[in-house]
């Protein structure tokens, strides 16, 4: 590299590699944020419709249990009831039949609705609507009380909260690149200003801030995405646990209330992705900090061998 000091020329390729690595880490972080959004979108969409005798994305149901029609060959039941984020549905694989009966579980009313749609004799649940005896042990077990999940509003708040905060994070990422001065600290009270991670100064000063500053800002910003991924998963898990516990306490054989494997895996992936994204940003910050230290020592610099005074946020 003719015309450059020997020490600077030797370290220029290393600086380029660090810059590429930092850019890749940021892109991977964006990809993980997109993955979290997709998972929350699939959670909303699951259980919304029925196609070809199957509920849409039934594998993503929060909780599932068997019931309604007993098997003639074992102690199990032929109908599978699914709790989704915004619906309660059922599938009867033997008859290639499925349906969505309500937007929020209300037992045993929803179970009677399922029985009607499957042409189960009304005598099966007679004890739930009159003083007669239920001919079905499944329905008889539900005569002890009415069940309704209490956290519908809170559950919806949790998932829309997640979308809102992920949107805020991505919007601020755009502003870091195109209009960083809009992120200027606007705290009114002094004690808040001392804690605030937003930039201060004029527009020119903020736009000249080095990438190391924005790496620190991201380490304050992106943990909110982990909290946003945790909140809806936690609320849905609580709803599922309440329903699962209620059904299992009835003591019915063959009902087998359990969490949906797809739901558990997807929510774990979303939560894990949010923490991995934070890890990528931390690694990016460390790479940038090491490069800044080398610049301060005069090892890395611009084409004239001098220290770079400003850097891209990327």
Per the model's pLDDT, the better-predicted residue between 305 and 219 turns out to be: 219
The domain ranges of the chain are 14-51+150-303
For 158-196, what is each residue's pLDDT tens digit? Answer: 888 888 888 888 899 999 999 999 999 888 787 777 888
Q: Give 8-35 pLDDT, tens digit per residue.
A: 555 556 667 888 899 999 999 999 999 9
Residue 236 has pLDDT above 80, yes or no: yes
Beta strands per DSSP E along 40-122: 50-51, 54-55, 63-70, 77-83, 88-92, 97-102, 106-107
CA 10/CA 12 separation, integer angstroms: 6
pLDDT tens per residue across span 124-152: 999 888 878 889 999 998 887 677 776 67
61 pLDDT band, cuts 50/70/90, is very high
pTM of the entire predicted model: 0.81
| Range in 114-118, 149-153, 214-218 with the lowest mean pLDDT | 149-153
pLDDT given for residue 11 in this prediction? 53
Query: For the chain, how are helix, strand and coil distributed in percent, rounded to 5?
Result: 60, 10, 30
Whether 310 shows a pLDDT value over 50: the answer reads no
What integer best gives the mean pLDDT of the chain?
84
Give the tens place of pLDDT for each residue, 202-212: 899 999 998 88
Residue 292: pLDDT band with limits 50, 70, 90: low
Look-up of token digits 């003591």: 251
Pairwise pLDDT comparison (266 vs 307), residue with the higher score: 266
Q: How many degrees, rounded to 5, is the angle at CA 91 between CA 90 and CA 93?
A: 165
Q: Is the pLDDT of residue 6 over 80?
A: no
| pLDDT of the residue at 225 | 82
Q: How far is CA 289 from CA 46, 174, 295, 296, in A?
A: 44, 22, 10, 11
Question: Does residue 130 contact residue 14 with C-beta atoms inside 8 Å?
Answer: no
Mean pLDDT, residues 220-249 taken together = 89
| Per-residue pLDDT reduced to its tens digit, 75-111 | 889 999 999 998 999 999 988 899 999 988 888 999 9
Calculate mean pLDDT across residues 256-281: 94
Q: What is the torsion angle, in degrees rounded to the nearest 10, for the CA atoms of residue 17, residue 277, residue 37 and residue 237?
A: 160
Residue predicted with more confidence, 157 or 58: 58
Residue 243's pLDDT is 92
């Amino acid at each position: 590299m003719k015309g450059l000091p020997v020490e600077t020329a030797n370290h220029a390729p290393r600086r380029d590699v660090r810059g590429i690595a930092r850019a890749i880490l940021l892109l991977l972080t964006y990809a993980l944020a997109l993955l979290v959004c997709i998972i929350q979108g699939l959670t909303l969409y699951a259980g919304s419709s029925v196609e070809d005798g199957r509920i849409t994305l039934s594998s993503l149901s929060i909780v599932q249990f068997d019931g309604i029609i007993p098997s003639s060959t074992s102690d199990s039941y032929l109908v599978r009831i699914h709790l989704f984020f915004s619906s309660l549905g059922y599938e009867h694989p033997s008859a290639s039949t499925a349906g969505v009966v309500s937007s929020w579980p209300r037992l045993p009313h929803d179970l009677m609705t399922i029985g009607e749609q499957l042409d189960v004799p009304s005598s099966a649940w007679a004890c739930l609507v009159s003083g007669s005896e239920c001919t079905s042990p499944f329905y008889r077990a539900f005569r002890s009380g009415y069940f309704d999940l209490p956290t519908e509003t809170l559950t919806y708040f949790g998932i829309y909260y997640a979308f809102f905060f992920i949107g805020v994070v991505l919007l601020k990422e755009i502003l870091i690149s195109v209009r960083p001065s809009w992120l200027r600290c606007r705290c009114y009270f002094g004690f808040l200003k001392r804690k605030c991670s937003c930039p201060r100064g004029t527009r020119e000063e903020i736009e000249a801030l080095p990438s190391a500053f924005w790496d620190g800002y991201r380490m304050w910003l992106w943990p909110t995405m982990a909290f946003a991924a945790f909140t809806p998963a936690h609320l849905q898990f609580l709803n599922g646990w309440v329903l699962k516990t209620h059904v299992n306490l009835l003591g019915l054989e063959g009902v087998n209330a359990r969490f949906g494997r797809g739901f558990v895996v997807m929510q774990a992936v979303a939560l894990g992705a949010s923490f991995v994204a934070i890890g990528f940003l931390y690694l990016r910050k460390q790479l940038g900090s090491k490069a800044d230290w080398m610049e301060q020592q005069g090892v890395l610099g611009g084409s004239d061998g001098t220290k770079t005074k400003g850097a891209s946020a990327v």
